[in-house]
């Protein structure tokens, strides 16, 4: 396959890298952390 067929791959890589960085800058890492250290009983079907 020609390397030009990978332009879409590079575009997606950059796009999702930007989204990741944007999410980190918006403080979403902290949200994941807060959720991760709490036992969510309803999330696992208890309650």
Partner 1 sequence: MLDIRRWIQIVSTVLSNAWLLFPFTKTIYQGKLKSVCVPGLNCYSCPAAVGSCPLGAMQTFFANIRPSLGTGNFHLGLYVIGFLGLLGSLVGRMPCAWLCPFGFMQELIHKIPSPKIEIPQILTWLKYVMLVFLVILLPLFVVDLFGYGDNWFCKYVCPAGTLQAGIPMIILQPQLRGLLGTVFAFKLVILAALLVAMVFIRRPFCRTLCPLGAIYSFFNKASVFRMVHHPDNCVLCKQCYRHCPMGVRFYQGANQKDCIRCLQCLRKSCKFGAISYEVAGAVPVEKKQPVKES
Q: Which residues bind partner 1 (CB under 8 A)?
A: 1-3, 5-6, 8-10, 12-13, 15-24, 26-33, 35-37, 39-47
Alpha carbon of 16 to those of 2, 6, 13: distances in Å?
A: 23, 15, 5
Say whether 37 sits in a helix, a strand or coil: coil
- Shortest spacing between CB 25 and partner 1, in angstroms: 9
- Shortest spacing between CB 3 and partner 1, in angstroms: 4
- Shortest spacing between CB 38 and partner 1, in angstroms: 8
């Amino acid at each position: 396959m020609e390397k030009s067929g990978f332009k879409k791959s590079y575009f997606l890589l950059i796009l999702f890298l930007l989204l990741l960085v944007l999410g980190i800058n918006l403080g979403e890492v902290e949200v994941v952390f807060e959720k991760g250290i709490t036992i969510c009983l309803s999330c696992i079907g208890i309650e």
